Structure 1
């Protein structure tokens, strides 16, 4: 049994996926540490230990993500290669959603928008609004150090105590906008708003911003399907808010299983695509 490891070394989190026979997800995990090298080696060691995988069964390691630039040698003596991050994002998003083409939105510390087509993958741009935004503002506004805790708190919040809604400034609907649509994030922040209300407003701000930018990124393309991946995609409010944004802009958001490992998985699959096509793979 030969296993390939895909490792996405991000700005704050390292995610690792072990794939059997190029495509079957065998195991996955993520670790957080300010030191990307420590994070990388810790993730590999922990995954092998927790899944009783001998080091000898790892045939290749494929790196991607901003932190992969720090690695200049094979890891534990195993042949180690690198795949362009945006290709890994596009390939992972399409693979997990079972699509041939889509706009793939990777919601990490920041957010990247990738057009994934049959002809290849193209980075459309990015936004500084992402998981880092949610983490930083959660610490400052909510005194919550864990994004997951802030997201769970948001589920109990009342958004009307924080956001200015269309219904607050109009007697009815405005064009195709219902009275419940946000007109201004945090535009009606009441002094008596509860902590859960602030959390709801913050989560709404992040996902609405990402969702609208994703919709705008595919305005010039007939394909209106958007695959949302990354750790933020696993939060409770992600599906609901992104679907609400999509309904306003005529787009469809999909959040696949294992969305947080899409880039790590995509790195492995893209590596083998390039290898099979005879392209030079970078070590």
Structure 2
């Protein structure tokens, strides 16, 4: 069995790979990199009912991997460049050999994949950390279930300014419903639910625009989205 651990800025993710199959991943909050990696491995082995001796090697990546020098719980580790991990991971999971792969984590990283060639295209400081930070100040919560639950009942039109709000009709190819300014309206009667969907909208729209720009600049027809933000209930619609 091979274990992969991504020690990020706010969470640590772990996944197993055995006999060509992925074993259900696990996420824990990351405070101290070494402690979170060891804790994730211990919890993962316990939940999936296998022994440490079953693990052949551990691949580690992410910003926190630099703090781990030898091994985790006595098992040797192999450090893997984060952008290489993003590229090959997106390629493997999607089955697409040429694409822009977007890692929607605490921040956002964008990688170009062209068969075996992986290159870092760019990124943004806007990501999951932005969503949680804004929600903490505006909604007084960092619980993603609460945030998305509120967002389901909210109206982004009470917070975001659209093209239709500032002119009569569309602008060339831009429909009137397109966002002209995130948070640019923010009506006095806008509720927490409205701000919840507006926060998600801001983050996902920003990442989406950057990803599309990257795809156009590199002549890619496919974009692969990875990370927890990609599976938010509202993300697909945005």
So what's the TM-score if we normalise by structure 1?
Answer: 0.82
Q: Which has the higher contact order (CA 8 A, sep 6+)?
A: 1
Q: Does residue 17 of the first structure (1) align with residue 15 of the second (2)?
A: yes
Over aligned residue pairs, what C-alpha RMSD do you find? 1.1
The yes-or-no answer on 1:159 pairing with 2:156 is yes
Match of 2:217 in 1: 220
Question: How far is the alpha carbon of 1:221 from its aligned partner?
Answer: 2.3
Q: How many equivalent pairs are there?
A: 238
Deviation at 1:222, TM superposition (A): 2.2
Aligned to 1:169: 166
d(CA) in 1 for partners of 2:204, 2:72? 36
Q: Which runs of 5+ in 1 are unaligned?
A: 242-283
Query: Does the 8 Å CA contact 2:9/2:30 hold for their aligned counterparts?
Result: no
Q: Does 1:121 align with 2:118?
A: yes
Please report how far the alpha carbon of residue 79 of structure 1 lies from its aligned counterpart in structure 2 after TM superposition. Answer: 2.5
1:181-219, CA deviations, whole angstroms, 9 ceiling, x for partnerless residues?
A: 111101111011011001111110000001001111122
Instruction: State the shift of 1:76 in Å.
Output: 2.2
1:35-74 CA deviation, whole Å, 9 max, x = no partner? 1211111100001011110111101110011110000002
Q: Which runs of 4+ in 1 moved over 6 A?
A: none
1:33 CA drift (Å): 3.1
Residue aligning to 2:55: 58
User: Does the aligned pair in 1 maintain the 2:8–2:30 contact within 8 Å?
Assistant: no
Q: 1:41 pairs with 38, 43, 48, which one?
A: 38
Q: 1:120 offset after TM fit, Å?
A: 1.1
Find 1:208's aligned residue among 190, 205, 214: 205
In structure 1, distance between residues paired with 2:102 and 2:156:
25
1:68 partner SS:
helix
Deviation of the 1:9 alpha carbon:
0.5
The offset of 1:173, in angstroms, is 1.5
| Cα distance, 1:119 vs structure 2 | 4.0
TM-score (norm 2): 0.97
